[in-house]
Amino acid sequence: MKRIVVAGASLAGLRALEALRAEGFDGELIAIGDEPELPYDRPPLSKQFLTGDWDEERIRLRRQGVEDLDVTWHLGERASALLPDERKVQLASGETIAWDALLIATGSMARELPFGAGLAGVQVLRSLADARALRESLGSGPRVAVIGAGFIGMEVAASCRQRGLDVTVIEPLAAPLIRGLGEALGRHVADRFRAEGVDLRLGAGVEGFDGEGRVEAVRLTDGKRLPADVVVVGIGVRPATDWLAGSGLDVRDGVACDGAGATASEGVFAAGDVARWAAPDGTPGRRYEHWTHAVEQGVHAARRILHGESAGTLDVVPYVWSDQFDLRIAIAGEPSAGDDSFLCHGSLEEGRFLVLFGHEDRLCGAVSFGRPRQLHAVRRRIAEGALFSDVVAENA
């Protein structure tokens, strides 16, 4: 193996490049990225970068030593097709790049509404370019509407409110973050945002926008009209797999892989937001849009490329966190609606606590508000397959 190509100058892609060198690969490394930027950290885009506390240099994933990796970077060049039989990647420019092994790490793309395209003031937040444009637009003191009360939406809302702006969040469900936290903890978050002066419109859908050339208001499905100068659409992401059409890969909700990142196409691997890894027992897995998964999968995929099946499979407990005002919310495992739950290490009134979740007496998840040490201990117990009742007793 003389040349390994990484399609996607992302967190997963960079960690894979680093791991390939750390594991002793001394051949040619080529990285393709559709943005004109070296890899950067996305979580601060909706927080420290948006508030103005951090500059662009602070969010670089590798501020020193990029040249030490000896990578040929194709930045600002989009991969447009995969030619697996020829072992080549085609770029939008028409150039093709041959590979002995290919890692797909093209990440995900922000979902957009079916209306409002081309209307100034309406935007998503996924890339550094998006963040630059949004931060600049906030300088004029606009009224901000955020559509979607998931992690990105709530982080943007908190950052805008910290800048002293009028902020409204529009969410069709009954509480913010309800898919990850459940309704009770979602209501707790809602109370905190209302205390900060954020207007929450829950149970409300969006019908369209008003404005000639530039957004002036958001029209809700209940007939109400909310004036807005800037609208941030935060309704989730989808895997960036459009360029893989015709490749023969299974790209239904991400690139299907085994438990170590290998696809059904020889020499082709995938990691990060774009990848759907099988569970260690071989059953079909799911995609995780988590920072930690991107790191862990990028490193493990590199080992799989170099060492084959001896690298084994990756078995980690999902983990994701979010900072909103003074709330540090973190989730381990996969808690779901209908799970048994137990609150410990604090209280809702105190604002710092841990909630354990169990399904059929198996510990399946935990949510922490400002209790990182206890959460990491519980994450280890989830990995061990601990009983919910045992862990409740340990933390009572």
How many helices (H) does the chain have, and how many strands (E)? 9, 25
Do 370 and 333 belong together in one domain?
A: yes
| Measured distance CA(257)–CA(284) in Å, rounded | 9
DSSP string, 368-380: EES-HHHHHHHHH
**Domains of the chain: total:** 3
Residue with tokens 């395209």: 117
pLDDT for 148 equals: 98
In terms of residue numbers, what domain contains 247? 3-109+237-311
| Token pair of 269 as six digits | 């691997």
104, 13 Cβ separation under 8 angstroms:
no
What is the maximum span of the chain, computed from C-alpha positions, in angstroms? 63
- Between CA 109 and CA 248 the distance in angstroms is 21
> Are residues 290 and 388 both part of a single domain?
no
Q: Examine the domain organization and report whether 129 and 228 are in the same domain.
A: yes
Clarify whether residues 32 and 132 are in a common domain: no
Residues 366 and 275 in one domain: no
Domain stop point among 233, 265, 282: 233
What is the pLDDT at residue 62? 81
Same domain, 117 and 220: yes
In-domain check, residue 316: no
Query: For position 336, what pLDDT does the model report?
Result: 87
* 227 and 243 fall within a common domain: no
135 and 76 share a domain?
Answer: no
Query: Quick check: is 95 in a domain?
Result: yes
pTM of the model: 0.95
Q: Are 105 and 241 members of one domain? A: yes
Order of strands across the sheet with 96-98?
79-83, 88-91, 96-98
CATH of the domain at 156: 3.50.50.60
Residue at 153 is within a domain: yes
Q: What DSSP letter does each residue of 72-125 carry, written as one string? A: EEEET--EEEEETTTTEEEETTS-EEE-SEEEE---EEE---SS-TT-BTEE--
Residue 183, pLDDT score: 92
Chosen domain end from 253, 282, 311: 311
Q: Are residues 248 and 353 in the same domain?
A: no
Q: Which of 233, 258, 290 is the last residue before a domain boundary?
A: 233
Q: Which residues contact 287 (CB under 8 A, 6 or more apart)?
A: 239, 253, 254, 273, 274, 275, 276
Residues with Cβ < 8 Å from 161, sequence gap 6 or more? Answer: 167, 193, 196, 197, 198, 325
Residue by residue, pLDDT tens for the chain (396 residues) are: 999 999 999 999 999 999 999 999 999 999 999 999 999 999 999 999 999 999 999 999 986 667 789 999 999 999 999 999 999 999 999 999 999 999 999 999 999 999 998 899 999 999 999 999 999 999 999 999 999 999 999 999 999 999 999 999 999 999 999 988 999 999 999 999 999 999 999 999 999 999 999 999 999 999 999 999 999 999 999 999 999 999 999 999 999 999 999 999 999 999 999 999 998 888 888 899 999 999 999 999 999 999 999 999 999 999 999 999 999 999 999 998 889 999 999 999 999 999 999 999 999 999 999 999 999 999 999 999 999 999 999 998
Task: Indicate whether 372 and 391 sit together in one domain.
Answer: yes
pLDDT, residue 64, reads 65
